[in-house]
Every structure is written in structure tokens, then in C-alpha cells.
Structure 1
Amino acid sequence: MGTFAGHALPGSFFLLFGIWSAIFQLRKYYRRKRFELGFTSVPVEVYRNQMTTPCPCPGSSCCSTRKLPLDSIIKATCCAIGIIGEVYTGFNGGKFVYIGNAQHATMFSMFLLSGVFEILNFYRILRLPPASDYFATFLAITTEGILFVFHLHGRTPADIYVHTILIYAVLLTIAVGTYEAVNLRSHIAGLLRSILIILQGTWFWHVGAILYPPVSWLPVWDELAVESIPRAANVFCQHVLLVFACVLLTATVMGYGLRNPPARLKGDQPDSCISSDQQRLLDSDEISDDEETELLEMRTWKPLK
């Protein structure tokens, strides 16, 4: 990653999946809210966080579940390409001599493994407990953090601190993700995890611009100056502000149409046509997708008498 492109590539990786995850979670949350507020009588699954964000794939012979884990497939593919690139460029004179390339290839390998794990878990080839897909992903993020900690020896102070900030973001992502895996109904935890992943992506790009300016008009930082340290922290906080504002704006736009729910205006409520035991199953994390769909189809909206 000793170039601007070397920082922009993983930055784009985190940006893509962070934005993808945030939009998916907001869309899933507001679709459920539309049903709960009476905007539609079509049953919608109860909101539950998930690491894989599948795309609808109706009428396709390759998708028996009518969904495709496209993000996991792209993750595995991109990481495979990254591994090939790091290994290929790590050789000099017929010998693998660049330890940095080996570290990057290791990081890509962990995310490749998490992508494959998500695909196997999505198609239930692996019969694992709920939230198992979080395990592989956050194991990969933990590996990323460990590699960064031992990736900074002999660097300039500014270089060390801009990467140290990234390590803090990684640790916070792990903490939030652990809480999310335990509380799959927490929409805030899932959204915060997406924000932190987006933040890693934007900061990767900015670190590349700080250390290896790609164009002449970008300011050149004095990497030995003490002032560069608080300056880097200030810029990172501006990233936090910008990313949060963008996600907040997206949530506002997506939820704008739910201001005047017909259920509240007309006195509608969901028909209580399922038993209390079925409702507890519906609210639990142990229910399968097929069972959840069957129970949801039993729920319709009807006006109060």
C-alpha cells in the first residue's frame, strides 16, 4: 500500500460495502415500517440485522431462495484479485521480498474467506447458529487491525498517526459489530457498523492523498511536523461529520413518505390472527426464513370495528 492506488483500492472496497450495507438496512427497516404503519397490507419480514445483504433474484434457476448474495460474491472476487496482485508484485528477481505485500495478501485472504463463508452460510450449506456470518467478517477485521499495528515501524510520525486513527476505527467496528451480533433487532447498531465501514473507506482514501498526493494541487503535509498530528485528528473528525450527515440525509429522504401513516389516520391495526406462541417465534432469532414468511402471510391489515 505504499502508493496512493494502494490506499485507494481497499478504501473503495470499504466504501462500496459500507454504502451498500447502509442503504440495504435503511430500505429493509422502512419497508417493515410501511407494513407496521398500514401503508401496505403485503406482509414484510420483521427487521433483523444481517451481514450479507442479498439482492432479489426472481425467476432465476440459480437462485432457489429467490435472492442472490451479490455483495459476498463481489467481496470474494475482489479479494481474490487483490491477493493475485499483491503476490505478483511482491516478487523481485524471482524471490518474494516485499513483506508489506505479504501482509496485504494475508488481509485480503481473510476477507476472501469471510466472503466464501457468507455464501456457504446464505445457501445453508453450513448449518450454523444465527449471526454466524458475523464471526468470519469480524475475524477478518481483527486481522486487519493486527496487521496495521505491526505495519508502522520506521514510519514518520504523521504516517504512524494517520494509520493509528484507522486502528481505532477498526477496534470500534469490532465492538459495535459484536453488540450487533448479540442484538440482531438493533437497527442503530447495524447502521453504526455500516457508518464505521464507510468511514474506514473515506479515511483510506484521505491517508493515500496525505502520504502520496496523486495531483500537484493537493497540499503536501510535513510528515515530521508535530502540527500534523492534531491536524490529522481534526480531518478524521470532519470525515465522521460528513459520513454521518450523508447517512442521516439518506435516512431522511427514504423515510419522508412515512410521515402520515394511514393506520394512525384511519384507526387501522394489524389483524391479530396468529397466536402468542407464533408471535414469540416471529420475534425470535431462531426462526427460519420460510417459517417467518409463512407467519407473515397470516397477518393482514383491517379497520377497527
Structure 2
Amino acid sequence: MGTLAGHIVPGSALALLGLWHIINTVQAYNLKGATHFRSCFWHSFTSPLSKLPYMELVLIVAFSIFSIVMQVLDYPLFSFAFKLNNYEHATMFLHLMIYAGFTLVTAVIHKSDVFFEVSGILAASVFCQELFLLHCHSADHHGLEGHYHWLMQLIVFVSLLSTLSTTIFPSSFPSSLVLSISVMFQGLWFINMGFVLWVPAFVPKGCTIQLGRGGDSDKHGAVMCGTHKARLRARALANLQFSWIVAGIMIFVACMCLFSPKKAKPKVQSINYERLDDRVAEIPLSVGGFKQVNYP
């Protein structure tokens, strides 16, 4: 993942996954209402042409396997070079594959509701391992690169907390929405990191890319800033990018909540029916039967 493509590809996948969950979560809440809403860790895909209910989980499993193979084979060299950072990245995708694989099986056998909490625990383990491996990475991220990865850990931590909250409180719309937002945020931040840390045109002023030794396949370098002032400016720009991405996501979510289809309101009883009911209530009811007459 220490390349531009290594950030763009998984970042795009995460961003699309988060976007997919935001749309479905908001629509489900607007259509079902607060009393009938229930969180989902995956959403079925339906289209006018075909119905592929498990496509999300199938794509996650396939993408995880593909990413593990690419990391183990040390793309683009395709050799079994034992590099710790590659195996750390592969381990992240391993936990993702375990979660998606288990959830897919439960969906196929129609027991998603029964094992909802188990899927939530497995989803939480994905973010837990991601946070652990980012914090204890074998590659020593320092300087500007380290600051970007530190901000990334904040996003993953929010994903972890929101996943646990969604598992414990499945009817909580805020928890489900924050989880979807954080997943999309992870993807967009990965993409942003790829451009800023690996494309010279996007490197902050006063900083340069220092590639590591070992050729093009081992471009695990870092962005180095020449002066303390340039380093502070680069970190401030990273903080601004962080806030701007959050603002963009919040604007999109707000628009989704306002303009997505809403639950139809129950029809109000007409005035004529109300008046008829009032008239019926005023009619006296005869309770007694025929009255017996006694002659002397």
C-alpha cells in the first residue's frame, strides 16, 4: 500500500462502500421511521435488470482475497518477498474477509438476524485490527506522513466505536449513520493521502518526497520538509483537508436526509365522517324490549 495505487484502489473501494451504506441507511430510516428502523451491516442490491442481493458481501470477499494476494506476492514484482509491511496490510484484509465471509453465509442461510451481533463483533474486529496495525506499523511513519496516519487512526477509532454501538443498539439510527460516514471518510482520506504523499505536484510547499532504497517497487518513502515553518504549514494543511472532507460528507448527508423518499403519512379522516360519528353518538339507544301490559 506504500504507493499511489495502493492508496487509491482501497480508498475508492471504502469510499463507495460508505456511500452505499449512507444512502441505504438514510432511506431505510425515512421509510420505516424511528420506531421500526433496524441497523444493517450490509444491504441487498436490487436493480430493474437483475437482483443480486448478496453482491456487496461477495464483492468485499473478492476484493479482500485480491488484496491479500497482491500484498503477499509483493505487487508489481510478484515474488514471495517476506516484507513485514505487506503482511501487515494483508492481515487487515484477512479480518475483512472473515467478517464478510461469515456474514455472507448467514445471509444465504437466512439467519442474518440471528447472528447479527456476531457479525457486529467481527466488523468491530476489522477496525480494531486496522487501528492496532496502523498504530504499531513496522514502517516508521514520521514527519508529515506520520501526521496523516495519526489522523487516519482517529477515523478508524470512530468506526470502531460506532460499530460497537450499532451492535449493542441495533435500532439506533445515529450509530448506524456515523458508522457509514466513518467508512466513507476512511476511503476519502486514503485517497487524499495517496495524492499528497505520493504525487509531487500535491506535496506541500517547502516539502519533498524522499523515496526509500530498493527501486521503484519499494517506494516506501516519506515527505520531508526543509524547515520547521514548512513542516508546521504542511500539518496545518493536513488538518484543513481533514475538516474540508468532513464538511463535504456532512453536506451530502444533510441533503440525503432532506430529499430522500419519506414514509407516507396516514390520511386524515374526512370532516364528513367525523360529523356522521357525532350524529350517531347523539341518537338515543333503546335498551328495553316490549313492555308487558297487565289487565285488571
- Specify if TM > 0.5: yes
Query: Normalized against structure 2, the TM-score is what?
Result: 0.75
State the match for 1:77 in structure 2.
Answer: 62
State the match for 2:233 in structure 1.
Answer: 227
Provide the rounded CA distance (Å) in 2 between the counterparts of 1:134 and 1:176. 10
- In the alignment, residue 43 of structure 2 is paired with which amino acid? T
Is contact 2:65–2:97 with CA below 8 Å preserved after alignment? yes
Q: Are positions 1:139 and 2:139 aligned together?
A: no
Alignment partner of 1:263 out of 256, 262, 266: 266
1:185-238 deviations in Å (ceiling 9; x for gaps): 11121111101111111100001111001xx65344524313222321221011
Q: Are positions 1:27 and 2:12 aligned together?
A: no
Q: Which runs of no fewer than 5 residues in structure 2 stay unpaired?
A: 208-223, 226-230, 278-296
Provide the rounded CA distance (Å) in 1 between the counterparts of 2:203 and 2:157. 30
Alignment partner of 1:54 out of 44, 47, 57: 44
- Please list, as runs of the form range in 1=range in 2, the aligned pairs for 1:214-293 lying within 5 A after superposition: 217-220=201-204, 222=207, 223-224=224-225, 225-255=231-261, 262-263=265-266, 266-267=268-269
Q: Are positions 1:203 and 2:203 aligned together?
A: no
- Please list, as runs of the form range in 1=range in 2, the aligned pairs for 1:76-155 lying within 5 A after superposition: 76-89=61-74, 95-124=80-109, 128-151=114-137, 153-155=139-141
Q: Which runs of no fewer than 5 residues in structure 1 stay unpaired?
A: 37-44, 61-65, 269-302
Q: Which is greater in Rg?
A: 2
Alignment partner of 1:165 out of 148, 151, 157: 151
Query: Normalized against structure 1, the TM-score is what?
Result: 0.73
Change (3 A) 1:161 1:218: closer
Is contact 2:73–2:80 with CA below 8 Å preserved after alignment? no
- Identical-residue share of aligned pairs (%): 18
Provide the rounded CA distance (Å) in 2 between the counterparts of 1:75 and 1:177. 17
Provide the rounded CA distance (Å) in 1 between the counterparts of 2:201 and 2:79. 38
Following superposition, the deviation at residue 245 of structure 1 comes to 0.8
Is contact 1:138–1:177 with CA below 8 Å preserved after alignment? yes
Following superposition, the deviation at residue 87 of structure 1 comes to 1.4
State the match for 1:294 in structure 2.
Answer: none
State the match for 1:7 in structure 2.
Answer: 7
Is contact 2:71–2:86 with CA below 8 Å preserved after alignment? yes
1:132-174 deviations in Å (ceiling 9; x for gaps): 2111111011111111112275333100010011111111111
Is contact 1:87–1:102 with CA below 8 Å preserved after alignment? yes
